[in-house]
Chains A and B, each alone.
Chain A
Amino acid sequence: MADPDPLEAAADPEALGRAAQAFVRARDDLRPADAIPWLLALAVPFLLSQECAFGTQILIMVLFALSLDFILGYAGIVTLGQAAYFGLGAYTAGLLSARLGWNEPISGLLAAGLVAAAAGAVSGWILLRYRHLALLMLTIAISTILYELANTWSWLTGGFDGLMGISISPLLGVFDWDLEGRTSYLYALVVSMLCFLALRRITVSPFGQTLHGIRENTARMRAIGVPVLGRLTLAYTISAGIAGIGGGLLAQANSFITMQVLSFDTSAAVLTMLVLGGTGRLYGAMVGAVVYMLAADRLARLSPEYWELGVGLLLVFVVLVCPDGLFGVVDRLRRRGWRWRQ
């Protein structure tokens, strides 16, 4: 059914209303094409079952990158400390099992998300009053402080050696964690898909639109009475919660975590993934995470230095040539193709 022409409808207010609704629905509703990445992902345990373990790591990073995209791409908050929430989630899920003997995965994951979200709420409420270098440094400082605490309390966290002794009971009491990692993979896939759907719903909601407004012109949003700090804190909380779920997944899937989950390197890596794919469109986070993980894996097999060199060159290239990321390139090509056809 073709969208009603808005100009024609202008004469008739009811038709205009319907036209507006159709426009919004067309923009916001999920299309069949949106299912493609998830269907492809679903095929992995059946067609590429030996890659399930790696695939799980990729899904975890996708989730992590999505969380960052929400706060950075949509709300416009530049942070180099997202690892704080990822790590908090990881340690929550890990400690629940390793220290408290609570091995049920789904509740453990929820706990991870909640703890991270709570931390996000508290820190966001304080930090989001600042901008530029102060905010950047504060986010770095928070994650570094957590890293140091994890180091100091190594009796609790396992310190540099890592947290061991995580054992997760079968999923829903039924699905055992097989050696191939298929259960882990499908578990991670379902979790990341649900989170993606939730984030997508939020980004197209009025709340998501105000975030967009805050990103574009904070002063103007304040002027029209939007409680900027409150909205940003909520966004930051959601973002932290999702990152925490990602971390929790990591702990549960690998049954082992190290302090790396809280490190500056991890924050920098997820930021790289996001910018590689393109910010502000969720799919960019997915594509960026997948491409980064694949490239990193290939390069790392050569040597750690090749990985470092490769990522460095990639970053310089992306910023200089396609700062909108891979999706930006796709957009530009699509627009050029469209103009061509005209």
Chain B
Amino acid sequence: MAEPALEIVGLRAGYGETVVLHDVSLLAHRGERLAIIGRNGAGKTTLLSSVVGRARVHGGTVRLFGADIARLAGNRRAAAGLGLVPQEREVFPSLTVHENLLVARRPGRWTLEAVCALFPRLAERMRHYGNQLSGGEQQMLAIARALMGNPSVLLLDEPTEGLAPLIVADLAAAIERIAGEDALTLLIVEQNARLALRMAPRAVALESGAIRFDGPSAALAADETLLAALVGVEGGRASTARARKRPLGS
């Protein structure tokens, strides 16, 4: 039995001295697609940040294909197969679209041509600088850039945030295509719980730094009361009611 793509055991993490996640354990097998949902401040971004190395890990382990990556520098984790599409997109403003893609390039099926085929809009904007793109284009660039690294585990943090519904549909379709292609393990953090549950067959719900639900999305989608309790869903978007205090700058 091959080792799981991502294995998190007893994770305690946060920023500086603040602890946001208390004892989080999660297992993702190759090719799995997981949605991570929860209210603001629940710790979704912190979870991804801990895996990538941007948050401070106070305790617990994070294993990528069986290897402990806690001590690895950021770029080594990328080499080990981790890809990140961060919440703020974070395209490099001083680089063109073309350069943004090239600096992240690693060998694999995702080449420049492949990502351009996925996002034709980007192909038209190759010479534009990162900060000359619209929100939707930046999101596409962020995803394409992560793909250029040919990751085995791709982390997406709120990929549809702040985007028009039409673009959201495009992105969702693109993510479907990405997931369908090969044994790419996907973790998608989403504020839009309903969309998340549609995008991924498995859902993990975080609340106050701990996992409250880990199971089939269909089950969670069907249980309105549970969904409302976990995420405060009213017609799709998670509410900010009872949002837990977040460390500033997280």
A220 at the interface (CB under 8 A from B): yes
- Bound-state CA distance A219–B249 (Å) is 9
- Bound-state CA distance A219–B248 (Å) is 8
B249 / chain A contacts, CB cutoff of 8 Å: 219
CB distance from B181 to the nearest CB of A (A): 43
CB distance from A133 to the nearest CB of B (A): 19
- Bound-state CA distance A146–B248 (Å) is 39
B248 / chain A contacts, CB cutoff of 8 Å: 217, 219-220
The interface size bin for chain B is under 10
A220 / chain B contacts, CB cutoff of 8 Å: 248
Which residues of chain A from 216 to 238 have a CB within 8 Å of any chain B CB?
A: 217, 219-220
> How many A-B contacts are there with CB distance less than 8 Å?
4
Interface size on A, residues (CB 8 A): 3
- Bound-state CA distance A219–B246 (Å) is 13
- Contact mask B212-250 → A, CB, 8 Å, 1/0? 000000000000000000000000000000000000110
- Bound-state CA distance A217–B250 (Å) is 14
Chain B residue with the shortest CB-CB distance to A217? B248
- Contact mask B148-186 → A, CB, 8 Å, 1/0? 000000000000000000000000000000000000000
CB distance from A213 to the nearest CB of B (A): 13
A217 / chain B contacts, CB cutoff of 8 Å: 248
Chain B residue with the shortest CB-CB distance to A218? B248
Chain B residue with the shortest CB-CB distance to A223? B248
A219 / chain B contacts, CB cutoff of 8 Å: 248-249
- Contact mask B14-53 → A, CB, 8 Å, 1/0? 0000000000000000000000000000000000000000
Chain B residue with the shortest CB-CB distance to A220? B248
- Bound-state CA distance A220–B18 (Å) is 15
CB distance from A25 to the nearest CB of B (A): 29
Which residues of chain A from 199 to 247 have a CB within 8 Å of any chain B CB?
A: 217, 219-220
CB distance from A214 to the nearest CB of B (A): 14
4 closest residue pairs by CB, A with B: A219-B248, A220-B248, A217-B248, A219-B249
Binding site for A on B (CB under 8 A): 248-249
Binding site for B on A (CB under 8 A): 217, 219-220
Show 4 A/B contacts (Cβ-Cβ < 8 Å), sorted by A.
A217-B248, A219-B248, A219-B249, A220-B248
